[in-house]
Chain A
Amino acid sequence: ETGVTQSPTHLIKTRGQQVTLRCSSQSGHNTVSWYQQALGQGPQFIFQYYREEENGRGNFPPRFSGLQFPNYSSELNVNALELDDSALYLCASSFGRRSYEQYFGPGTRLTVT
Chain B
Amino acid sequence: GENVEQHPSTLSVQEGDSAVIKCTYSDSASNYFPWYKQELGKRPQLIIDIRSNVGEKKDQRIAVTLNKTAKHFSLHITETQPEDSAVYFCAAMVSNLNNNDMRFGAGTRLTVKP
Contacts and interface: CB of A to CB of B under 8 A. Distances in A.
B43 A98 contact: no
A33 B34 CA distance: 15
Interface of B: 1, 4, 6, 32, 34, 36, 42-46, 49, 51, 89, 91, 93, 95-107
A104 B45 contact: yes
27 contacts: A4-B43, A33-B100, A42-B89, A42-B104, A42-B105, A42-B106, A43-B44, A43-B104, A44-B104, A45-B102, A45-B103, A48-B100, A55-B98, A55-B99, A56-B98, A57-B99, A90-B44, A97-B97, A98-B96, A99-B100, A100-B51, A100-B95, A101-B49, A104-B43, A104-B44, A104-B46, A107-B43
Determine chain A's interface SS by DSSP, over half rule: loop
Contacts of B102: 33, 45, 99, 102
Contacts of A90: 43-44
B58 to A, nearest CB: 17
Interface residues on A, range: 20 to 34
Given A33-B102, A42-B107, A45-B102, A101 B97 contact: no
A97 B93 CA distance: 13
Which 4 residue pairs are nearest across A and B when measured between Cβ atoms?
A42-B104, A56-B99, A104-B43, A98-B95
Contacts of B106: 41-42
Nearest to B99: A56
A98 B44 CA distance: 20
Interface of A: 2, 4, 33, 40-45, 48, 55-59, 90, 97-107
A101 B103 CA distance: 14
B95 A99 contact: yes
Contacts of A100: 32, 49, 51, 95
Given A90-B44, A104-B45, A41 B99 contact: no
B16 to A, nearest CB: 28
A45 to B, nearest CB: 5
Task: Point out which of A44, A45, A105 has the most chain B C-beta atoms below 10 A from its C-beta.
Answer: A45
A59 B49 CA distance: 25
